[in-house]
Homo-oligomer: A and B are copies of this chain.
Amino acid sequence: MAIPKFKDMERTYGFDEVALVPGDTTINPDQTNIDFTLGSFTFSIPILAAAMDAVVDPNFAILSSKLGGLAVLNLDGIQTRYEKPEEVLTEITQASDTEVTSLLQKIYSQPIKENLIAERIQAIKQAGAICAVSLIPANTKRLAPVTKEAGADILVVQSTVTTARHISKSYRGLIFSELCQMVSLPVIVGNCVTYSAALELMRTGIDGVLVGIGPGAACTTREVIGVGVPQVTATMGCAAARETYFKETGKYVAVITDGGIRIGSDLCKAFASGADAVMLGSILAQAKEAPGKGYHWGMSHPHPALPRGTRIKIGVRAPLEKLLFGPTSVTDGTENFIGALRTSMGVCGALTIKDMHKVKTVIAPAIKTEGKYFQATQGMS
């Protein structure tokens, strides 16, 4: 008797489980092109700073723009709830481990002030930087006009999981096609992890999707509610949606891998999985200029009843410019991310990010374990 199957389960993969295969041609790293285009904007590096309070404040956004990237300012956090966010940030970093979640729950229960939204955006724009801001879906209809008015260039609508259709009794679901028409700005929406959800979002007219549920260093979504798709599989699914949508319409929607990137190799693998850009949280929170002062916490962390994040101590590592471009003397992939990307592209024979999408990728979970037979003195764990 054949036993009926209850459901099929597909194998998925994360960064640690794959490796990139060198090409049959190699290219000098300095000849690679890593431009990233979103709407009418072109960025010289394909890196976005995450809309998290430990990562981006107006000064960090200005610096990111100068260095060729893009930082997203979180309009649902401390910057728009408090006149003087520095004091609140200090309070968070000084809290003990046992009390920090309660403290965050309290801090994030303060109301958002519209005047602060305008103020933060204008601070970024006045410095000549490109300004991207993020809203949560429930606030978007109300606050998107305010951000547009204040001069924001790019709008990000972001929550743990965002779909084109949301069922709620407390507010009418956000209609992304209406939003796109209303703001006439490039709109990025996330997060999503599947072909079908990404494709449905793309069909609303948005310009980019954020990919990733549960993988970030400061996120415990997978532990708490069991939901998550590892980033290699998630990025590949959304990239396949981009290809489908491009064939349907000729419009190229950016796929941005968000979360789970810890070291250079992860970043390189995100592009080989189909990403057009990556969004970095905990890595950039380690920059000298980041507001988190050596700490990082997830934006699902302050949930009043079911927090799904942790505050992690990450330390202050180096100025943002050095983190991104090196040079470095560390050997474990935690600095010089752009150098790592260009070198990876070089040995894989990829001139552009789109070439990188085609690089052969293999399942290679084997981790080096030489430590067993030698006594490592540096950088090996």
Contacts and interface: CB of A to CB of B under 8 A. Distances in A.
Interface string A22-55: 1111111011000000000000000000000000
Interface string A327-359: 111111110100111011001110100000010
A354 B86 CA distance: 48
A370 interface: yes
Contact of A224 (B263, B361, B378): B263
A360 B227 CA distance: 10
Contact of A7 (B12, B265, B361): B361
Chain A interface main SS type: loop
B313 A374 contact: yes
A224 B310 contact: no
Interface in A1-31: 1, 3-7, 9-14, 16-28, 30-31
Nearest to A283: B373
B226 A264 contact: yes
A267 B348 CA distance: 28
A91 interface: no
B313 A331 contact: no
A22 B192 contact: yes
By size class, the interface of chain A is 35 or more
B225 A313 contact: no
A144 interface: no
A344 B240 contact: no
B230 A312 contact: no
A239 B170 contact: no
A366 B14 contact: yes
11 contacts: A11-B364, A12-B364, A224-B333, A225-B264, A230-B364, A233-B364, A260-B368, A305-B326, A305-B328, A306-B327, A314-B374
